[in-house]
Amino acid sequence: MKLSVIDISNNKIKEVELPSQFNEEIRPDLVKKAVLTIQNNKRQSYGASPDAGKRASAKLSKRRKAYRGMYGFGISRVPRKILSRRGRRFNWAGAFAPGTVSGRRAHPPRAKKIWKKDINEKERKKAIRSAISATVSKNLVEERGHILPDNYPFVVDSKIGSLAKTKDVKDFLKIIGFENELKRVGKKKIRAGKGKSRGRKYIRKKGMLIVVSKKSKLMDAAKNISGIEVVEIKNLNAEILAPGTKMGRATLWSEDAIDALRKGGLFLK
């Protein structure tokens, strides 16, 4: 498969043959598995203390004529802790049981739960190749909600890495036909539910991905553009290429990234 190479002024300068990674069969099931594995391995363990709600001494006898027992006082047989006493008369309060104040939780989250998941190396690489292949399928990219120019997909000149200002990057994206896409990802909405009071007030859409061969000024210049992400070719993974397990992210491949993919044999068996 051949794609046109365009320069910063949106002029076609040549064509380039895509490497074999772009010919992979599209496998949504493998991509989903790889993305969920990454997300699970990023989770931080959380849970209640194993002793939470169990620190009170609430062991009372439920037998007849037992000292300190609760039998015969006309009260339910709930575990109770003794607060004070006078002879055989006690002042007590429910404790330990899930239905009592400061009692344990019935089914608390356990910090010892293991969130980690594994995936076979061949499956992981195949998932990445499959997600790479989906980036040049215009139908899949449009299904994901991206607004594309008519000549998509294409490869951009390696000089894109020299763009050092956010304004220059925005102007470049508008010139090559992504003006409406920038407007789409620039919108934000307030999250529903309690998450908005926990540091996640706004929801933003995922925009396009720019793949380069090495660190460049472009990475810093594109940081302030909502939804845009710049990544080195060696750091690609299934989650970056298919956020939310949905394949077909709009991707701009630089010419040197294509060369690195071919010469390095990245993500092959």
pLDDT average per 10 residues of sequence, the chain (269 residues): 90 92 95 97 92 90 84 87 88 92 93 93 96 95 94 93 93 94 94 92 94 93 93 95 95 95 91
Residue 162 lies in a domain: yes
Check whether residue 14 and residue 97 sit in a common domain. no
Q: Which domain-ending residue is among 80, 113, 146?
A: 113
**Which amino acid, residue 29?**
D
CATH number at residue 224: 3.40.1370.10
Check whether residue 218 and residue 123 sit in a common domain. yes
Q: How far apart are CA 133 and CA 87, in angstroms?
A: 81
Residue 269 lies in a domain: no
Which tokens in the block code for residue 14?
């040549």
Residue 158 lies in a domain: yes
Give the list of residues 6+ apart from residue 52 with CB closer than 8 angstroms, or none. 104, 105, 108
Which tokens in the block code for residue 30?
């493998």
Return the exposure string of 96-107: e unless at least 16 CB atoms fall within 10 Å of the residue's CB, then b: beeebeebbeee
Question: How many domains would you assign to the chain?
Answer: 2
β-pairing verdict for 188-190 and 209-212: unpaired
Check whether residue 139 and residue 247 sit in a common domain. yes
Burial of 172: CB neighbours in 10 Å, binned 0-12, 13-18, 19+: buried
Burial of 49: CB neighbours in 10 Å, binned 0-12, 13-18, 19+: exposed
Give pLDDT, residue 269: 78
Q: Report whether 81 contacts 93 (CB < 8 A).
A: yes
Q: What is the model's pTM?
A: 0.84
Give pLDDT, residue 61: 85
Give the CB-side neighbour count of residue 30, counting CA atoms within 13 A: 19
**Which amino acid, residue 32?**
K
Q: Which domain-ending residue is among 113, 148, 163?
A: 113
Q: Which domain holds residue 97?
A: 45-113
Check whether residue 119 and residue 108 sit in a common domain. no
Check whether residue 218 and residue 230 sit in a common domain. yes
Check whether residue 84 and residue 119 sit in a common domain. no
- Count the Cβ atoms, other than its own, within 10 Å of residue 127: 28
With tokens 């909502």, the residue in question is: 226
Give pLDDT, residue 60: 83
Q: How far apart are CA 84 and CA 123, in angstroms?
A: 65
Check whether residue 100 and residue 200 sit in a common domain. no
Check whether residue 161 and residue 236 sit in a common domain. yes
Q: SS3 for 125? A: helix
Check whether residue 12 and residue 139 sit in a common domain. yes
Check whether residue 21 and residue 49 sit in a common domain. no
Which tokens in the block code for residue 165?
């200002």
Check whether residue 14 and residue 119 sit in a common domain. yes
Q: Which domain-ending residue is among 96, 113, 130?
A: 113
Rg (CA), the chain: 29
Give pLDDT, residue 235: 94
Q: Report whether 136 contacts 3 (CB < 8 A).
A: yes
Calculate the alpha carbon distances from 233 to 18, 237, 260 in Å: 15, 9, 8
Q: Report whether 21 contacts 261 (CB < 8 A).
A: yes
